[in-house]
Chains A and B, each alone.
Chain A
Amino acid sequence: MKIRQVISIIASKLTIFLLHLLKRGGTTLPGKVAFKLYPDILKSIASNFEIIMVTGTNGKTTTTRIVEEILKNNNVDYITNKSGANLLSGITTLFIQAVSISGKPKHKVALIESDEAAFNQVTKHLTPKAVIVTNFFRDQLDRYGELYSTLNAVKSGLERIGDNTALILNADDSMCASLGIATAKPVIYYGINQQAYQATSENMNSDAMFCIQCKNKYEYSNRIYGHLGGFYCTNCGYKRPDAHLECIEIQEAGSSYSTIKCKCSSTLLQENNEFVTRINLPGLYNIYNAMAAAACGLALGYKVETISNALQSFESGFGRMESINVMDKTIKLILVKNPTGFNQVLSFLALENQSLNTAFLINDNLADGTDISWLWDVDFEQLNNVSDKIDGLITSGVRGEDMAVRLKYSGLDTSKIRIIKDYHMLIEEGLKKTPPGGCFYILPTYTAMLDIRSILKKKFNLKEFWK
């Protein structure tokens, strides 16, 4: 037994214990302590787990929660990181919690959400059995640098791990799909078929318009949103790969769920390779999250029925469309952090058939991204299509004033826009305006979500997130 390892685990577990005594949900510090004492700690204790990793720009948390539900449906004993502890130290803390002092694992599987910029670092220590990559969009450029550096970081992280790792990749994302080129690893692609969805307008502010291979402009046979869709390059021939798992029909797109028909290639499922299922969250982006998780489940050999059950029963992750019932009204909390994600949330809001009361909480702390320029890349103009339904728009957070300016320039009626910096007052105002049976939407950036969530927790008894 390695004595440094034991000391490192004990010190780290002690830190976790102390933080809990202080009623703080610390996930970073224990990991840091462990590394300080024994740099190989994670590599050493994680090697006894079967690891599934999820990375990419948007949808990591939700995809991870769906995979979790698949594991539950298969009675698999697992650990997983919650509450956005998806950097190296948070992941280390999770593993420390999951082993005995001698380093023996208490569980079989580890389901790990990894920040895309940290992925390269994390894979120095972990060798996953499967990696899901959701997508690449511009996000927090002040922190990540350029979009292509994020892609390259994930790419070199993947190159570091052996050829036995299955890659679960988004076929509709030219950047994500490119990770499947020139690799010896088994690759499973998932996507939305062009028969299932065709966007009506081309998004001007697409993130990857030029070929990743030869820099020629892509043509598209269909567009889903952002740069996702049936891309092909007329110059070098790089094109959307055929997907092993596809959504071939969206039968129902409601404001709380979607019903879809899927088709599977024979590599994933031999008999009855079509199935209909319901996804327990609305919106196109959740169809992608569901496809990603389902493709991973099929690749790992789980049965279609258990996967379908999981899609119908999973609950969204921390701050991702969480619902709080307050008397006869609902507060819905939806995290926003980059243009594409925000656009998807707005198109979802447009489905709401009642009057729309929405609060936008914009912070510019490190974890949110210190640059709020991205608000100008969000298509708030689409709210003009539902302007008759908009009752009140509240802006708040450190950058609430900037958000008000953004809404004003989108052409919405300024008399409906109010800046309310106090969160207690904001909740009160929002609820007051919401009709019985109606919904008050709160759209915060990450740190604003932590703040408003802790207020909502006190007010309405929400679960503590780190439990």
Chain B
Amino acid sequence: MFDLNICHLYPDLLNTYGDRGNILALQKRAQWHGINTTVQNVTIGDNFDASDYDIIFLGGGQDYEQEIIQKDVLEQKNTEIKNAIENMKVFLCICGGYQLMGKYYKTWDGKEIEFLGALDLWTVGGKERMIGNIVFESNFIMENGNPLKIVGFENHSGRTYLGENIRPLGKVLFGNGNNGTDGYEGAVYKNVYCSYSHGSLLPKNPMLTDHLLTLALKQKYTDFDALGKLDDTFENEARNTVIQRILK
């Protein structure tokens, strides 16, 4: 019997756009695959030991809440997060959580806010928010021989740019993605997956959920082979409806 420990970092602060759905998706799909899970909430002031967990999740927050976690994440959890990343721990970071992994956030009027610097990427604030449905294709996961089409909803004013060692998660087919100009969305570094997609991202894109579960299980168990198939009728209908609607 396999089991996975999932950590929800700052669930009370980074949870703005239904990001909890990602935790639910990891939990439920693992359960349907016959894998036990535990979910641990870790927030401000809590002790955080990355080796206790197999998957670590960070969601998006409003400016007010992002300010509150700033000190805690930089002073208390910085080294743990960085070491975990280098040790191939699986992370999923959405929107604010994604930006936080980078080096800094520069507001549109020039103020620079220091972020974790765990990944070689940075964000510059824009005056206009980029809001709407997004579809992008990711060749990290193949579907019938083609890069997987992932759907979500973006709502961000920050424009994120990737450094040399970071690959984008996918190519934007519809929407803005990282910065609205270079045509890419999200970021991948080792086993860290970042995206601006809310929606929630994982429930509607079950192949991505299974991809993350697989990565985590392979890290933990040498005898783990692969996940089986599940009935994804509803998920596929939801994803295809959006794809057909906006890519027609």
Contacts and interface: CB of A to CB of B under 8 A. Distances in A.
Chain B binds chain A: yes
Contacts of B12: 204, 206, 209
Contacts of B13: 209-210
A217 B155 CA distance: 26
Interface residues of B, number: 37
B120 interface: no
B20 A374 contact: no
B235 interface: yes
A147 B129 CA distance: 15
B202 to A, nearest CB: 9
B52 interface: no
A405 B155 contact: no
A290 B17 CA distance: 30
Interface string A375-416: 111000000000000000000000101101110111100100
Contacts, number: 94
Contacts of A204: 11-12, 20, 41
B132 interface: yes
Nearest to A210: B68
9 contacts: A142-B131, A148-B64, A209-B12, A209-B13, A376-B203, A406-B21, A406-B203, A408-B235, A414-B234
Contacts of B199: 371-373
Contact of A405 (B20, B68, B129, B235): B235
Given A370-B133, A376-B18, 5 more contacts: A204-B12, A210-B68, A370-B132, A371-B199, A373-B198
A209 B234 CA distance: 34
Nearest to A381: B24
A146 B155 contact: no
Contacts of A142: 131, 155
A205 interface: yes
Interface in A258-302: none
Given A376-B200, A401-B237, A409 B28 contact: yes
Interface residues of A, number: 35
Contacts of A206: 12
A376 B19 contact: yes
B204 interface: yes
B3 interface: no
Contacts of A148: 62-64
A145 B237 CA distance: 30
Interface in B165-200: 198-200
Interface string B120-139: 00000000010111000000
Contact of A376 (B21, B41, B68, B238): B21
A376 B20 contact: yes
B219 interface: no
The residue among B13, B133, B234, B241 with the most chain A CB atoms within 10 A of its own CB is B234
Contacts of A205: 15, 20
B21 A371 contact: no
A371 B200 contact: no
B67 interface: yes
A405 B198 contact: no
Contacts of A373: 17-19, 21, 153, 198-200
Contact of B238 (A141, A374, A377, A401): A401
Interface string B219-248: 000000000000000110110010000000
A346 interface: no
A376 B64 CA distance: 21
A409 B24 contact: yes
A160 interface: no
Contacts of A411: 28
B18 A210 contact: no
A404 B238 contact: yes
Nearest to B238: A401
Given A373-B153, A374-B18, A146 B203 contact: no
B100 to A, nearest CB: 17
A298 B220 CA distance: 65
Query: Which 9 A-B residue pairings sit nearest by Cβ, starting from the closest?
Result: A376-B18, A376-B21, A373-B18, A401-B238, A373-B17, A146-B62, A401-B237, A373-B198, A404-B234
A138 interface: yes
A122 B133 CA distance: 31
A404 B237 contact: yes
A366 to B, nearest CB: 11
Contacts of A217: 44
Contact of B203 (A215, A399, A405): A405
A138 B16 contact: yes
Interface string B2-41: 0000000001110111111100110010000000000001
A206 B43 CA distance: 14
Nearest to B132: A370
A371 B68 contact: no
Contacts of A419: 234, 237
B46 to A, nearest CB: 12
Interface in B200-226: 200, 203-204
Contacts of A138: 16
A454 B56 CA distance: 47
B175 to A, nearest CB: 12
Contacts of B62: 146-148
Nearest to B22: A376
Given A138-B16, A402-B238, A419-B237, A372 B153 contact: yes
Nearest to B43: A217
Contacts of A371: 17, 131, 153, 155, 198-199
Interface in A345-373: 370-373
B17 A405 contact: no
Interface in A111-148: 138, 141-142, 145-148
Interface in B32-81: 41, 44, 62-65, 67-68
A372 B131 CA distance: 12
B16 A405 contact: no
A405 B234 contact: yes
B24 A141 contact: no
Contact of B155 (A141, A210, A215, A402): A141
Interface string A179-204: 00000000000000000000000001
A432 to B, nearest CB: 23
Nearest to A402: B238
